[in-house]
A and B are shown apart, each in its own frame.
Chain A
Amino acid sequence: MSIDLKTIKHISKLSRISVDEQKAEKLAEDLSSIFEFIEKLNQLNTDKVEPLTSVAETSLKFRSDEVKSKNIREQIIKNSPEDNKDFFVVPKVVE
C-alpha cells in the first residue's frame, strides 16, 4: 500500500510531530515500503481467531488504591524544562 502526502500530514497531526515538505516525502516513501511489508498479513484468514491482548495467562492483580509516596512535589517538578516551583509552566492557553 502506498501512503500519500495527505495521509502523512494527517498522521503527523495526530502524532503531534511537525513535518516539513521534505521530511513528509521521505516519510511517505519509508512508510509505503513498511506497509507493503506489513500487507503480507492479509494472506491469512483470521476470521475465527481471538485477538491476543496479553501473553501472560494470569489476570491482573487488584491492589488497594493507597498513597505510597508523600511530599514528592519537588522530585516531580525537578526535571521539568520550565516551572515556577509549584507548577509545570506551559505557553499561554487561554487568552
Chain B
Amino acid sequence: MSEITNQSLTSLAQNIKDKKLSSEEVTKAFIERSEKSKELNTYISEDFSNAIDKAKKFDQNPNLNLKLPGIPIAVKDLFCTQNVRTTAGSKILENFIPTYESTVTQNIWDEGAILLGKLNCDEFAMGSSNETSFYGNVQNPIDKGLVPGGSSGGSAAALSGKLTPITIGTDTGGSIRQPASFTGTVGLKPTYGSCSRYGIVAFASSLDQAGPMAQNVKDCALLQEVISTYDKKDSTSIDFKRNEYSKELTKDIKGKKIGIPKEYRVDGMPKEIEELWQKGIQYVKDCGAEIIDISLPNTSYALPTYYIVAPAEASSNLARYDGVKYGFRAKGENLIDMYEKTRSEGFGAEVQRRIMIGTYVLSSGYYDAYYLKAQKVRKLIKNDFDEAYKKVDAILTPSTPSSAFKIGEKKDDPVSMYLNDIFTVPVNLAGLPAISIPAGHDASGYPLGLQIIGKAFKEQEILNIAYAMEDKINFKNNITDWWIK
C-alpha cells in the first residue's frame, strides 16, 4: 500500500490513466492509511464508504481525460460539501449538513476527484496551531507533540502524513503557508479573487482565499489550475485570463528580478532561518535570477492592522450564528438570552476573543481610531508592494519566523501566537499570491519554508520560481510514521 500512498498526485494520475492502478486501489490505500493514523486527529468527518463506492463507479466507466481522474482527496472542513457535515472546527456547526457545494470543491469533483473526508482546522480558521478546534488538536507527522500549524493544520498534517495525495486549505493571514512550512509541504495562497469564496465558511471576507497544498510544486500547479475559476456566485471573484499552471510550468527563471526586503530580518529571528534565507538567495542566483535589495517600510505595521481588519470582518460574518437558522442552539429564557447563551456556549475562546475585538473596533466612538486607521495603514502596506514591484518580479522571504512549536507552548499567549504570521499577513492585506516551499531543516530536524510573493495574478511566475528552486533544494521530509503501531 505504501507504494501507492507515497506517490505524488502527478504520478498517481498517470498510473490511473495508464490503467496501472484503479481508482479503487488508490482510494482504498489512502483510506487504509488514514484508518491507521487516528492518532494524528486529522479528520473531523470521514466519508470512506461513499469514497469507495465513487471509486468503483469511476472505474466502471473511467473518464481518463480529467485532470484528477479518480483521485481521492480529503479537504479542509471549511468548505461546504453537499450532504457531508461541515463544522469549520466549531461546536456551533457540529450538526451542520450543507445542502449545497462550494465552488472550489465542485471544481475538484468535476475533474474526477473523490471526497475522502473533512479535515480538522482551527475554529473558523482562527488560529496558527490547530489548537482552537473544538475537535481537538492535530499532531504534526514530523514529531509527536508538535503542532502542524494552522489554521489548515489538519490539511497539512494529512498531506505530509500521506493520508491524502493533495488537499486544499484557506488562507486569511497565513493559514495555508504557515502549516505548509511546519510540515514540509508546498502551499499556495492565490491572488484575492482567483478562487471563488462561494460555499467557504466566511472568516474575513476581504482577506480569505482558498488554495492548493501539495507534496511538490507541480502537483500544486495542477490543483491551482483546477480550483481557480471565475464564479458569478462570488461577487469578488475576478475574471482574468488564468494560465494552465501545470502545463506552462518552467524552471527557466533566468533574468527574473527577485527582491529581498530588509524589513523581514526581524529581531529575535533564529539564526537558522536567516541561514535558510541566504541559501534560498543563492539558489535563485544559481538559477540565473538577479537579486535586488528592496524595502517594504510598513511591514511591522501589518500584524496590528490585520488584528483590526480580520476581527472586524469576522465579528460581522459570525453574527449569523444565532441559534435560529442552523447550528447549535442553547436554551434561553427569551430570544436575547437564547442568542447570548448559544454564542457563549457554541464558540470557543479564541473566536469569542476575536468577535469582541471586532465588535469593539467597529463600535460607535472607536471606528475612526481603529478600523478606519487600519484601512489607511492597509493602503500604505499595499503601496509598499506596488512600489517594490516597479523594480522586481517577485519577493523572497522566510515563510515563518520559527519551525513548528510544541502543542500547548503558545496557547495561553494570544500575541505570541499572532507573531507566527508576521511574514505571511502582509500578503493577504495586499491581496497578492504567495507560495511556501520546504527549503531545509532546523537543528531538531523540523522543516522550514521559504515564501515567494508575486504580483497580483502572477501565480505562474511564483510557481516557476518555486519549481526552479525545488530542484536545487532537493528537500526530503524526515517522517518515521511514529504514529502507526
**A67 in contact (CB, < 8 A):** no
- Are A51 and B375 closer than 8 Å at their CB atoms? yes
Scan residues 265-313 of chain B and give those whose CB is less than 8 A from a CB of chain A: 298, 300-301, 303-305, 307-308
Kindly name the residue among B319, B327, B339 whose own CB sees the greatest number of chain A CB atoms within 10 A. B339
- Are A55 and B372 closer than 8 Å at their CB atoms? no
Q: Mark B55-96, 1 if CB is under 8 A from A, else 0.
A: 000000000000000000000000000000000000000011
Residues of A within 8 A of B236 (CB): 54, 56, 60
The chain B residue sitting closest to A54, CB to CB, is B206
Given contacts A15-B355, A49-B380, A90-B324, contact A38 B307 (CB under 8 A): yes
Provide the main secondary structure of the chain B interface: helix
- Are A46 and B376 closer than 8 Å at their CB atoms? yes
The chain A residue sitting closest to B311, CB to CB, is A34
- Are A82 and B329 closer than 8 Å at their CB atoms? yes
Which of the four size classes fits the interface of chain B?
A: 35 or more
Residues of A within 8 A of B360 (CB): 3, 7, 11, 31
**B405 in contact (CB, < 8 A):** no
**A50 in contact (CB, < 8 A):** yes
**Interface pick from B43-51, B157-165, B256-264, B330-338:** B330-338
With contacts defined as CB atoms under 8 Å apart, how many contacts are there between chain A and chain B in the complex?
A: 156
**Interface pick from B147-155, B341-349, B395-403:** B341-349
- Are A81 and B323 closer than 8 Å at their CB atoms? yes
Which of the four size classes fits the interface of chain A?
A: 35 or more
Residues of B within 8 A of A38 (CB): 304, 307-308, 370
Residues of B within 8 A of A3 (CB): 360
The chain B residue sitting closest to A42, CB to CB, is B373
- Are B340 and A31 closer than 8 Å at their CB atoms? no
User: CB < 8 Å: which of A15, A18, A27 contacts B341?
Assistant: A18
Nearest CB in chain A: distance from B190 CB, A: 12
Residues of B within 8 A of A55 (CB): 192, 206, 382, 429-431, 456
- Are B332 and A78 closer than 8 Å at their CB atoms? no
**A80 in contact (CB, < 8 A):** yes
- Are B324 and A51 closer than 8 Å at their CB atoms? no
- Are B375 and A16 closer than 8 Å at their CB atoms? no
- Are B328 and A78 closer than 8 Å at their CB atoms? no
Residues of A within 8 A of B (CB): 3, 7-8, 11-12, 14-19, 27, 30-31, 33-35, 37-42, 44, 46, 49-56, 58, 60-61, 63, 72, 75-76, 78-82, 88, 90-93
